Amino acid sequence: MSIIVFRCVQRDDLPVRWPEAAEVLAPAIALWRNRHTPASLLAALIDQQLQLWVAILRQAQGEDGRIIAAAVTQVQDWPGGAKECAVVLAAGEGHDLWPEWMADVKAWAAGEDCDLVTAIGRPGWQRVLAPAGFVHDGVALACSLGG
């Protein structure tokens, strides 16, 4: 029997976990109009500007298996005083488990003195994260300027 473990990847584990996580996140990275590359994300993760979360399929023997889902968060201090933890990328399997996994992100964010957790993504994420207390909070619009 296998179980799924969701956790924040520690900085020392990034070299081992990042290649597989980057592969899982590739579809989300592609949707975000070249805002990041796998290399720029890794650099920001190493500099602790971003945090990497992974869902790992753990084998019956207790050994870590493959990463089935991943997310990237960013903590932002706003001039008005709010401190936000934003889920800026998420992808992978197990959509029915994301609300449970977001409980871990919310607990971590509370420990970092964040006031709120937000998620940025395609419209389908609203349905996926609603059970975790996420509500529609506006619309992001984009306009490509050439190229």
Q: Which CATH superfamily is domain 3-132 in?
A: Gcn5-related N-acetyltransferase (GNAT) (3.40.630.30)
- From first to last of its 147 residues, what are the pLDDT tens digits of the chain? 568 899 999 999 999 999 999 999 999 999 887 788 999 999 999 999 999 999 998 876 666 789 999 999 999 999 999 999 999 999 999 989 999 999 999 999 999 999 999 998 888 889 999 999 999 888 877 777 876
Specify the pTM: 0.90
In the chain, where are the structural domains located?
Answer: 3-132
Give the model's pLDDT for residue 89.
95
Give the model's pLDDT for residue 142.
77
54 pairs with which residues across the strands?
Answer: 7, 70
